[in-house]
Chain A
Amino acid sequence: MIKRKIKSKLAMVVCFFLLAVTPAGQVLAQNASGSGQMLKLYVDPRTKVVYTEPGKGRRLLAQIPASSFDASAIQEQQHKTEVQLQQNQQQISDLLEKNQRLETSNSNLTTQMAEIRPAWRSYIENFQDKFQIGTLLYGDYRFYTHTGFQPQELTQITNPGPGNNDYNAFDVTRTYLNFFFFPTKDWTVRLTPNMYKTIGSANVKVGQSTGFGSNLDGDLGVRMKYALLQYNSLWDKVPALKGGMVKVGEIPNPLVGWEEDLYGYRYVNLTPWNYLSLSSTQLGISMEGPIRLFGGEKTYLDYGFGAYDNASFHAFEQTDTKQFMGRLTAYPFGADWRFQGLGITGFYNYGYGNTAPDTTSLPTEVKGPDAHITRIAALLHYTAEQFGLAGEFDYCDNAFSAANLFSGSGPADAFGFPTGAAVTAGTIAGNTCTAAAPCYNPFSGYGAQTDAWQAILNNGRARQIGFDMFGHYHIPGTPLTAFGMFQWLMPNDHFKSDPLDFQRFVVGVSYQVNEYLRFAIDSQNLSFYHNQESIPVSYLSDFGYAPGSTFNGRKVPATGDIPFMVPRDTHSIFANMEFSY
């Protein structure tokens, strides 16, 4: 039975094999010689074997038209099949080629992405290294037991003058937002907006009948304190000068900021020259850096110099000249860190008053604000980790004007508002007074005194001499540091017994809360130390005082003396705060 099945299947396989594989020509030669003939197949029902010829026991199985075995048709079909096959192969080849191209493109894209991603990631990862934002905040509360006319103790703070004892105020005197951008290691950009207290009330008239009130009076405005571009690698290939840099823009000058750091308590009070007149910031170009000698890391010299506008950063430059400043500090024994050990510093500044050329060219009896300005400072200082002490000698020309003296508080007469009762009839101090031509009463208000003070300070031949000392001492085992500053200035040593000679002293204790925060409580005092005195008009006239001239619409004394020439002292207590980040 099994054999029979095998045979039957084998017969069918052979049959289909013959149909499919046997050359059609042979079949046709045997069974179908032309079109219309039929190919007959016979089967033996017993054996299931298929035959092409009849025989005993065989039965007709099927008749197949011979035309279906047309050789040419088959060949054509084969040809078509081959063509189709070639086309398919070509398509496959094309697809393979296309796939190869896509794979190559994909590989290139992957490579590109691999190259792009690190750059992108690098930019993000380095973003924090390219930018730095910091802040510096100074604030205080101050209480005056005695008020008087004086320079500012801190930036843009003011106080009412004599007769306003117990005046007190909270202030914010600095709000730096320090933006640093480091596009490369060579370059730094610094932008520092800072607040300041606006003073002013110039109302505005609009049209014929409309007026606007000033909105500047006392506002906390914002101005740029620093806006500079700094090149850091000027001397990188010179080991002795490495660390030097060039700054251009709105930049710190070489003395004030440096001295503030030497002192360490700028949040409490201004350093000597900053207190007198020299702003910390001008527009210009400068160079600064250390000098390391003998191939070591110790700093033996530290320099800073530059050319700047005559105007400070908060004034419009009017001059056709510029000022020069230079500082050189020597550390005879070398300094491992800034200020370390004994230091000797010299500072020189030569410039001019901020006056437009068409004004300076006018002939005047005295040069006044058109005169040159010289500032010289010589310092001897010693700094250790736990204490610091510095002594300073100042010598200068025309560097302390009445505007500087009254920057914190001054008589209204210095700002265009006459004080005291006007004399409108009769005579006084050599003047004949009328309602149309009133006179100052030298015993009322500050008009005569202010005119005399301005003559002493603003005559263009004033020479200032000063001595200063400052220092600090850390109280061991505590967060407390005692500090102090003493300043003595003779605003015009050509003027004998100058009533404006003053001594200023600041004493206090600082409390270091943490790395960012300090507090201090201190006493700040200004003393015009001469006994009260009167100054003869005849003597004042040698310094540019014009007897009997008009000042703020009133005549000033023409003869005699001007009394009460020594201003009142100022005494105050401050509580200060510094936040630096």
Chain B
Amino acid sequence: MKAGTNHQFGRFAITAAAIALAGCSAMPSLPGEKAAPARQNAQSGPPPSVQNCGIVSISSPSKYVCNDKVYTSFDLANLRQDWEKNHPVER
């Protein structure tokens, strides 16, 4: 009986810890901070914006250079849309 009680307590403790970890991971680390995006990591800053790029070819599709890297207009649009999807505007 005593052993059974310990066993149940252990399961409860593991479950509680898992819930706590899962819950805390979705909370702001400090009051006032925004929730971390699901896919954010150290390298996932905002993608290059076409407004800040130089155009190098006007065609189908047009090509732009941003930070010494060449993108098609489709590339830039996809990057922007992915970013906006993962960083919704708070209203």
Question: Could you list which residues of chain A lie within 8 angstroms of chain B, going by C-beta atoms?
Answer: 132-136, 176, 178, 180, 260-261, 264, 266-267, 336-340, 383-386, 388, 474, 478-479, 512, 514-516, 578, 580-581
Contact = CB atoms under 8 A, between A and B. Distances in A.
B86 interface: no
Contacts of B69: 337
16 contacts: A134-B61, A178-B59, A178-B60, A264-B55, A264-B58, A267-B58, A388-B54, A478-B51, A512-B51, A514-B77, A515-B50, A515-B77, A516-B62, A516-B77, A580-B58, A580-B61
B84 to A, nearest CB: 12
Interface string B51-74: 111111111111111111110011
A514 B58 contact: no
Contacts of B80: 515
A386 B63 CA distance: 15
Interface string B77-90: 10010000000000
A581 B51 contact: no
B61 A337 contact: no
Nearest to B66: A385
A580 B62 contact: yes
A546 B61 CA distance: 53
Contacts of A474: 52, 54
Dominant SS among interface residues on chain B: mixed
Nearest to B73: A515
Interface residues of B, number: 26
Nearest to B79: A515
A53 B16 CA distance: 97
A136 B76 CA distance: 18
A256 to B, nearest CB: 12
Given A337-B65, A337-B70, A581-B73, A261 B57 contact: yes
A136 B52 contact: no
A337 B73 contact: no
A384 B55 CA distance: 10
A516 B60 contact: no
A87 B51 CA distance: 89
Contacts of B63: 338
Contacts of A132: 60
A337 B62 contact: no
Contacts of B50: 512, 514-515
A340 B64 CA distance: 12
Contact of B60 (A135, A383, A384, A515): A135
A468 to B, nearest CB: 19
Nearest to B71: A515
Closest 5 pairs (CB-CB, A-B): A134-B60, A479-B51, A515-B73, A178-B60, A385-B54
B73 A580 contact: yes
Interface centre among B50, B58, B74 (most CB of A within 10 A): B58
